[in-house]
Amino acid sequence: SSMGAAGPVPTSYRLQPKGPTEARPANSGFSALALWQILPDDDKPTEIWFLLTEAAERNAWAAIQAESKKLGVVAHAISLGNDENIDNASHFLEQTAKNIPEGCTLTLDITQGLRHHAFLFFALALYLSKFRDNQVAGVWYCRMETEKGCPKPIIDLKPVLNLVDWFLALYVFQATGSTAAIAGLVTGKAQEYFRNFSQEFLTGVPVEAGLSARRLLTELSSEGYRLGELPLEENLRRLLQKEIEPFVGDFKEKSECKLDQAELARQARFIARYLETGQQNLAFGFMREWLVNRMLASQSPENWLQLKAREAVERQLGCLTSLLSNKKDPNRKALSEELKALAKD
């Protein structure tokens, strides 16, 4: 928690929303100490750290110590220094980060303190959770502006923090095709489908990726499905559907995949995405396979998944390449008249 210049302000607090398992309201001069009283025993922090401006050290710290001792919880102070440091974001973040043990679980109270402290806590939570292996259990804020005489509701804003994970995961999907990060944010069948699609997309296997994309789209579109308790959940789900749709295969099993113009166009979209995202190694490798598929589509589309048929076409392409540089190559007998004419031209 943090404090600006004010001293204790006796207030009655409660968790929001109300429910049958809600803890009783708590009275305190400080929102962090009230929150500590209200939270279930399993969720109570073992220590409370207060970031204090110079004014808060004078006006609040003694009262914090007295109330903390009465409650039986350890309180620590992190000094933000004199007034010159009040608006110094680097000082705030560095002083806090160096005092937070790596790997511990954090509960943030952003009710009191200066207004910009809430934004700094947000940046701090991202840094500690992504690079210091700290877990954020909750981000609590009290709506102090509610009517007088009523316990002030404390609400958990952690779902807003969770949005950042989703934004990053979606960005990685758009930039690379990997949905591994998204798989880490969902549960159930969707988690398996996202993991499968990620591996299949990044190894250039369009039929398997098409199956996983189809299963994903079906799951995301199913009645009642939600990504979680998230702000913008419906918007995020629509974005995911939009990104997945171009790769969805029109088949339910690999053996049902027909090599027609629609399937070739779907596979070409993989190449386009690879080129768009700068993954030339995948694009060029897939181009070779696509060319084989294109020839199989005109020769023996019913056998296009069979290794023998693919190898035969690959030999033809090898001969064609040879003929383009050496028209006297004896391997020209392996080519059809149409391909010979193409090589001659």
Q: Give residue 25's pLDDT.
A: 86
Q: What is the tens place of the pLDDT at every residue in 288-340?
A: 899 899 989 888 888 888 888 888 888 887 777 776 667 666 666 666 676 66
Please tell me what DSSP assigns to residue 2: E
Q: Give residue 331's pLDDT.
A: 63
271 CB-side CA count, 13 A: 13
- Report residues of the chain scoring pLDDT below 70: 17-23, 82-87, 146-149, 323-325, 327-336, 338-345
Angle, helices 233-244 vs 158-176, to 10°: value is: 10
The pair of structure tokens assigned to 1 is 């928690």
Instruction: Give the integer Cα–Cα distance in Å for 128 and 115.
Output: 21
Q: Give residue 282's pLDDT.
A: 93
Q: Give residue 237's pLDDT.
A: 94
147 touches 159 (CB < 8 A): no
Could you tell me if residue 133 is left (phi over 0), alpha (psi between -120 and 50 degrees) or otherwise beta?
left
Q: Give residue 341's pLDDT.
A: 63
Q: 3-class DSSP state for residue 249?
A: coil
262 touches 250 (CB < 8 A): yes
Positions of E strands within 29-161:
47-52, 74-79, 105-109, 135-142, 152-156
* pTM over the 0.85 mark: no
Q: Give residue 164's pLDDT.
A: 92
Q: What is the tens place of the pLDDT at every residue in 6-16?
A: 888 888 898 87
